Chains A and B, each alone.
Chain A
Amino acid sequence: KAGVTQTPRYLIKTRGQQVTLSCSPISGHRSVSWYQQTPGQGLQFLFEYFSETQRNKGNFPGRFSGRQFSNSRSEMNVSTLELGDSALYLCASSLEPGTNEQYFGPGTRLTVT
């Protein structure tokens, strides 16, 4: 069974731009969560989606948003990029919401210049 895939793997953007990252969960997994990983803050929860609805949200500004499609694929968007948004963005999928047995993708490395 194929794992979680994320595209693109690497991205360089300029401050003020916006970016959209994509995640395809493991087949049959209906819950998708997003995390941000930085050297200073570690792994931080962004949000979780299930059945095209945001189920939980972490403590991030409104510039960070996401959505989920009917096939469980998910996208996250960051608008008005700041230098501090440079990070590894990880997507994780699970069979059902509310389970912390999650399967992570390889991540998208975003660099904001």
Chain B
Amino acid sequence: DAKTTQPPSMDCAEGRAANLPCNHSTISGNEYVYWYRQIHSQGPQYIIHGLKNNETNEMASLIITEDRKSSTLILPHATLRDTAVYYCIVAPTYNNNDMRFGAGTRLTVKP
């Protein structure tokens, strides 16, 4: 079973920020938070990951709460091409067995 809880679906207006929440209340000290997305009919795409500090890259920002029990992926200016299923995963870096993809959040960006 996935160790994360995400809303099944969200909508966002094009050009606005998309904030995707994830709960991971049982996260262990050695587990990172990873975000992937899957656009229809394609393989998942790595977005970002973090341990406890907030992270930012060219695609998104990741905000992790101080107790590490939840996080938020932020797409600052959503476009129609960001419509996808977004997966939040917690896993240690050393064991791919624990890369458990849950059902994810289906984000629909609307014009």
Contacts and interface: CB of A to CB of B under 8 A. Distances in A.
B29 interface: no
A12 interface: no
Contact of B43 (A42, A56, A57, A92): A92
Nearest to B47: A101
Interface residues of B, number: 22
- Chief secondary structure at chain B's binding surface: loop
Contacts of B45: 104
Given A42-B101, A100-B34, A107 B43 contact: yes
- Chief secondary structure at chain A's binding surface: strand
Closest 10 pairs (CB-CB, A-B) = A104-B43, A43-B101, A98-B94, A48-B96, A104-B44, A56-B96, A90-B43, A56-B97, A100-B91, A105-B43
Interface of A: 4, 33, 42-45, 48, 55-58, 90, 92, 97-107
Interface of B: 32, 34, 41-46, 49, 87, 89, 91, 93-97, 99-103
